């Protein structure tokens, strides 16, 4: 009994230690011309791993209801071939990249991003902009989830983060403190 309790405690600590810490290092905003932008900050000499933007269609709330008509038709499969991956639009990269400020649907060309679907904000979609720490240590990750309505309602001069809306200056301070 004591051995079982000790083992379950070790397993719980191991599992808890594997989850990277979520840090406020990603934000989105709309500039004066109405263009959505991504802001990525880093704790590691300005580098981030695998930044990406994934938009998924909102699902109907009734059990058994169909997905919205705007949902892309393509379906991917997981590597095991047993789980179906939800269709998505946006872009995805692999490897280490420089943290940057860029138009949300135009990641830097040198990132060689895989692009899927229309590269514009779409009503009825939920988006997640995220990245991980560059050293593959799983120490931290950054993420911000939003939709077109949230960005449209964002006051001029503010950015949207995992902590909500704040000024760009406040975001830069929070990002520095997160490291």
What is the per-residue pLDDT across 16-42, written as a single tens digit (0 to 9) for each? 457 889 999 999 999 999 999 999 999
Question: Do 150 and 98 contact (CB within 8 A), yes or no?
Answer: no
DSSP string, 27-84: EEEE-TTS-EEEEE--SSTTEEEEEEEEEEEPBPSSTTPPBPTTS-S--EE-TTSSSE
> pLDDT value at position 144?
98
> pLDDT value at position 72?
40
Whether the pLDDT of residue 8 is over 60: the answer is no
Whether the pLDDT of residue 176 is over 60: the answer is yes
Pairing state of beta strands 21-22 and 76-77? unpaired
Q: How far apart are CA 85 and CA 99, in angstroms?
A: 28
Eight-state DSSP code of residue 156: T
- Side-chain-side CA neighbours of 5 within 13 Å: the count stands at 2
Whether the pLDDT of residue 135 is over 50: the answer is yes
Whether the pLDDT of residue 12 is over 90: the answer is no
Tens digits of residue pLDDT in 143-160? 999 999 999 999 999 999
Long-range contacts formed by 112-120: CB under 8 A, 24+ apart: 113/52, 115/90, 115/91, 116/72, 116/74, 116/88, 116/89, 116/90, 116/91, 116/92, 117/55, 117/72, 117/88, 117/89, 117/90, 118/89, 119/89, 119/90, 119/91
Longest dimension (CA), the chain: 66
Give percent of the chain above pLDDT 90: 65
Pairing state of beta strands 36-40 and 114-116? unpaired
> pLDDT value at position 138?
75
Q: Over the chain, what is the mean pLDDT?
A: 81
> pLDDT value at position 128?
98
Tens digits of residue pLDDT in 54-80? 999 987 443 444 444 343 434 333 333
| pLDDT tier, 85 (very low <50, low <70, confident <90, very high otherwise) | low
pTM of the predicted model as reported, rounded to 2 decimal places:
0.76
């Amino acid at each position: 009994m004591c051995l079982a309790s000790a083992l379950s405690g070790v397993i719980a600590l191991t599992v808890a230690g594997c989850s990277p810490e979520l840090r406020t290092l990603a934000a989105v905003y709309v500039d004066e011309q109405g263009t959505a932008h991504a802001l990525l900050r880093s704790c590691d000499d300005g580098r981030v791993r695998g930044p990406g933007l994934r938009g998924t269609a909102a699902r109907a709330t009734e059990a058994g209801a169909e997905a919205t008509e705007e949902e892309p038709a393509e379906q991917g499969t997981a590597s095991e071939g047993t789980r179906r991956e939800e269709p998505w639009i946006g872009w995805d990269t692999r490897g280490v990249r420089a943290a940057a400020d860029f138009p949300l649907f135009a990641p830097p060309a040198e990132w060689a991003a895989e692009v899927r679907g229309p590269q514009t904000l779409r009503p009825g979609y939920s988006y997640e902009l995220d990245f991980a720490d560059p050293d593959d240590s799983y120490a931290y990750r950054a993420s911000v989830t939003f939709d077109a309505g949230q960005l449209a309602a964002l006051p001029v001069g503010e950015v949207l983060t995992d902590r909500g809306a704040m000024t760009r200056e406040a975001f830069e301070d929070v990002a520095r403190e997160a490291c």
